[in-house]
Structure 1
Amino acid sequence: MYAIICYGGSPGIMYTEGNADGVKRWVDSVHVKSEVKAPSFKGCQYLVNGEIKTFTKTIEPIATAIYPGDERVKISEFARCDKDIALAALAAAHAAWDKSRGQVAKLDDPGAHYTAAREEMAELPMWDTCKSRQDAADEIDRTTGFIEDTINVAIKLYNSETKFEISSGVATQIRHMPVGFVLASGPFNYPMNECYTTFIPALMAGNTVTLRIQRNGASPHFPTLRMFQKHFPSSAINIFSGSGREIMTPLMQSGGIDYLAFIGRSSSASALIKTHPEPHRLHSLLQMDSKYCAILLEDSDMEAAKQCASGAFSLNGQRCTAIKLIGVPENCVADFVPRFVEAVDALKIDMPWDADAKITPLCEDEKPNGLEDLIEGRQKHGAHILNKHGARFAKPLASPTVVGPFGPIAPIAVYQDNKYGLQSAVLGYEPTALARVVDALSMAEGRVNINSPDKRGPDVSPFTRKKNSALGMTTAKEALKRSAIPTVVATTVGDQRDLAAVEGLIESGKCNFFNKNFVFPPSSG
């Protein structure tokens, strides 16, 4: 029998005033050290038809949730682009498609742009989304690696498809040809890496891409506009910011989108797909909701408590792979809970540039009030705050909070089939017990972690999900193939005129489908 002991996700909070233990020192720590200067980058820019323009109609400040004083500091501006901009971008994409017919980007190492601008690009997500400086830098590095891997995989795929196969008197060449027009949108918690996994493979496959940037996490994209302008054909990619309903919905309603690459809520994905006039022909790559569960076995140790604490609250719990629920054997609860509570309270709350910071400010304005309501609702139903430093709040900072129904009761968890299938973890060592849980979870989840942290990478491994959590996977190879359609050009081998015609077509170099040239990876020098 398992007892539910913890709900993960974003850390819970309650407003706390006065001189309670540690609160005053904590409130004082919210104020930014004077020597740390917030960045400032020109916003309100968008890329359409190969031109970088400035949007001036509806502008919102991008203000960091890090307070150097009584007010937030503006680090950039967010352009709330409208339907007209979106449809103009789509029209430009269609025009570019008619000219290029799926020719891929100039393969002169666009990832080098990221390496050169690494420090600047790492600062922006740190201040915009309040993730730690190390996490922000790691995200830029990971994104650079993903771009390079995708380019190399695209070249290998291209080179492998230049040969003919002969069977039953028919000579065929099979190539993955682009789907067409891609609409991409990613989340704010990993504004670069996860966003790029939605559209870089589609772009390298020869599709035209329209990328929508959302409000939180928008600023890191602004320095990349010139990179895309330089390395890709005009209108091969259009990038602009705005509300999903205001710009993604009309794009889908137009019927001009062939492929939806989307990370977000399943309800949002379903609503978008329903607006397409011909949803039966819409290709999709979707990463959606998850309910990550960690299951402890009877022989799990203190390390399991530390991993659960980190898994629940890393990046403030705002990750699809954050642990949402921990299941503990009933006879282990009394031993596990104090260890888990101790591990949670040991997580350092500080500013993102602090090397040891584990809990940083929440960047969404409405998040604190929502979390307060969540904890108060739990308390009304008999839950208790179990950790000493739980349920504290100072401006955008929130302490991680553990809640549990412990007392002189026998907790029983009533459950139904989970409609999500991203990841789960099992912590323990005894082979027979492990086998039972792993076999059960592997039928329902895209990944099962055994005594290892919840995570997405490495990117060479499939990031796959089951049930309502996803459609498709995002390794470079699989995403490339998903954003392209195997296409066959064939002729009979019994007629010399047919063979001569195909040979002449290839030698002329006028047909984009056939290409006798071997492509080498871009030079990194």
Structure 2
Amino acid sequence: MNFNDQLKSLFVPESEIPEEFAIHEELHQREYLCDGEMRSWTGPVSEVYSPICVPDAQGTLQRKFIGTYPICTDKEALEALDAAVNAYDNGRGEWPTMSIDNRIKCLQKFVFKMNEQRSLVVKLIMWEIGKSHTDAAKEFDRTVDYINATIDALKDIDRQSSRFEIEEGVVAQIRRSPIGVVLCMGPFNYPLNETFTTLIPAIIMGNTLLFKPPKHGTLLHYPLLKAFQESFPKGVVNTIYGRGATITPGLMQTGKINVLAFIGSSKVANDLKKRHPKINRLRAVLSLDAKNAAIVTKNADISLAVNETVLGALSFNGQRCTAIKIVFVHKDIVDDFLIKLGEAIAKLKFGMPWVPGVSLTPLPEPGKPEYLKECIDDALLHGAKVVNENGGASLASFVYPAVVYPVNEKMKLYREEQFGPVIPVIPYDSIEEPIKYQIDSPHGMQVSIFSNHAQEIASLIDPFVNLVSRVNINSQCQRGPDKFPFTGRKDSAEGTLSVVDALRSFSIRSLVATKMNDKNKELINEIVNHQDSNFLSTNFIF
């Protein structure tokens, strides 16, 4: 069977899809969560087509139609904003004034209800964005683990804050308090996990929020709306649907959004921030563009570098902000590296998301195969070649990985974030070349350095820690573990995320202070002993 026939065989008739993973009924969402109510929607809807294609009667591949969701307008978005503003009530609402202990109980209730929807959510992740069943299940389970870790981290923070501090005759209790209304927008590549890494800490710290699901990966959130409704007071979580360019500018222009939590492009983030009438009042928590480089020196273990590059560049088809998106290889070893890289890619299993052990799957963005072909053609025009067998071959929504070499500054692949299964490789002579690339790059998220020479690694660590936010030694770029800080320099991020950092990002330190005299001590003791305040309290959460 030639390679084109292999590609055609990937897309099977619906009758051959394993029953466990088949979608027999379309999911038509006709409601959204606002002010504690599941409100009906009778207006226009957006149709959802899966990257998984099935052949029609004529054998033509068609993206599988799996459902619809509301296309709401400014009116519904502003109603949701009003609900969040009213629930926060200038910090006087039920949720922002609730004790940490009771907020945690609400979140634990949500996790229980969320777990009840695991099977459906995992299946929708597969069908909406083409993620393998194994990775879709991991995304769900990792999200639950993240929520539980967030609860534990908040308990630790609260325990440390449950005591009074005395300095220079002043006694104070310092705690973290919410900021206000949060607009939360997540990405399609991790539509559940990365969305919840901002949404969950924003909620648990006492903020109220508007939640806009990503364009690809919208339906998978629908089964969780009831869980939000039943777990939190009304108005704490409100969902908004529709075209981002239509509904989000108006929300920002009101000036009522206190925190922008956004994972996407720096261009969109900048546009949204500029629309806020008081940018100085807006806190932004942003995870944005990245063009993470791998640097393979002549002292590297080539096999290790190849294996980590394949993982880093092609996990979920390279559709990760932390993916390795350009590789610098010393000219003395580049030929060997390319041969082994091609061999490693050839061993990757490709197919539909339900196929056991599959590594390469269809791409969710309808225009992505054409864009990647455009990038490859541009590189060929400027002197590069596709050096791995079958590299760049595509059919419908599937693109086979392409190793493009040698890449230079004239090519799109040199600067643009391809966000797909294309690996640009640049040969270098002097280590100053990849350093200069990073200096000139608008991005500054991570770098991977491959070498077994301690002094060489040390000489690269010192410049790169000031150019990117994470230097990976002999390993791929990645976000985890979730307790490690995740951020970036330049256009790659604003603010820091981790289990603990996210809690800080969505809160501010507040304190109650008074001079140490008998009358004030009596007042403080009375408030604490009678548990009259949720803030001024020595209660200890176990």
TM-score (norm 2): 0.87
- 8 Å CA contact retained: 1:67, 1:73: yes
Aligned twin of 1:87: 78
Aligned twin of 2:94: 100
Write the deviation string for residues 129-162 of structure 1: whole angstroms up to 9, x where unpaired. 0011111000000000111111122222223222
CA separation in 2, counterparts of 1:44 and 1:143? Answer: 26
Aligned twin of 1:78: 69
- 8 Å CA contact retained: 1:426, 1:434: yes
Instruction: Give 1:216 shift.
Output: 0.3
Is residue 512 of structure 1 aligned with residue 534 of structure 2? yes
Gaps (5+ residues) in structure 1?
A: 1-18, 521-525
3-state SS of paired residue (2:478): coil
CA separation in 2, counterparts of 1:444 and 1:223? Answer: 42
Alignment counterpart, residue 58 of structure 1, candidates 44, 47, 66: 44
Alignment counterpart, residue 34 of structure 2, candidates 48, 55, 59: 48
Aligned twin of 1:215: 215
CA separation in 2, counterparts of 1:38 and 1:119? Answer: 12
Write the deviation string for residues 380-410 of structure 1: whole angstroms up to 9, x where unpaired. 212211111112111111111111139xx99
3-state SS of paired residue (1:303): helix
Aligned twin of 1:439: 462
CA separation in 1, counterparts of 2:308 and 2:104? Answer: 43
For 1:4-403, list aligned pairs within 5 A: 21-32=2-13, 34-36=15-17, 37-38=22-23, 40-70=26-56, 71-98=62-89, 99-100=93-94, 102=96, 103=98, 105=103, 107-108=105-106, 109=108, 110-300=110-300, 301-403=302-404
Seq. identity, %: 35
CA separation in 1, counterparts of 2:13 and 2:473? Answer: 40
CA separation in 2, counterparts of 1:359 and 1:446? Answer: 29
The AA in structure 2 aligned to 1:519 is: I
Aligned twin of 2:414: none
3-state SS of paired residue (1:298): coil
The AA in structure 2 aligned to 1:23 is: N
Write the deviation string for residues 414-465 of structure 1: whole angstroms up to 9, x where unpaired. 8452232111101121212222222222221211111223221111111122
Higher relative contact order structure (alpha carbons within 8 Å, sequence separation ≥ 6): 1
CA separation in 1, counterparts of 2:427 and 2:171? Answer: 71
The answer to which of 76-85 and 143-152 deviates more is 76-85
- 8 Å CA contact retained: 1:390, 1:400: yes
CA separation in 2, counterparts of 1:509 and 1:76? Answer: 50
The AA in structure 1 aligned to 2:506 is: S
- 8 Å CA contact retained: 2:364, 2:397: yes
CA pair 355-192 structure 1, distance change in 2 beyond 3 A: same
TM-score (norm 1): 0.90
CA pair 175-343 structure 1, distance change in 2 beyond 3 A: same
CA separation in 2, counterparts of 1:439 and 1:411? Answer: 20
Is residue 463 of structure 1 aligned with residue 486 of structure 2? yes
CA separation in 2, counterparts of 1:172 and 1:347? Answer: 59
The AA in structure 2 aligned to 1:141 is: D
Aligned residues: 498
CA separation in 2, counterparts of 1:389 and 1:303? Answer: 23
CA pair 85-327 structure 1, distance change in 2 beyond 3 A: same
Instruction: Give 1:35 shift.
Output: 4.0
- 8 Å CA contact retained: 1:291, 1:420: yes
Gaps (5+ residues) in structure 2?
A: 57-61, 408-425
Write the deviation string for residues 26-67 of structure 1: whole angstroms up to 9, x where unpaired. 212222462421264342432110111232212011111112
Instruction: Give 1:411 shift.
Output: 7.7
Instruction: Give 1:23 shift.
Output: 0.5
CA separation in 2, counterparts of 1:438 and 1:223? Answer: 45
- 8 Å CA contact retained: 1:126, 1:133: yes
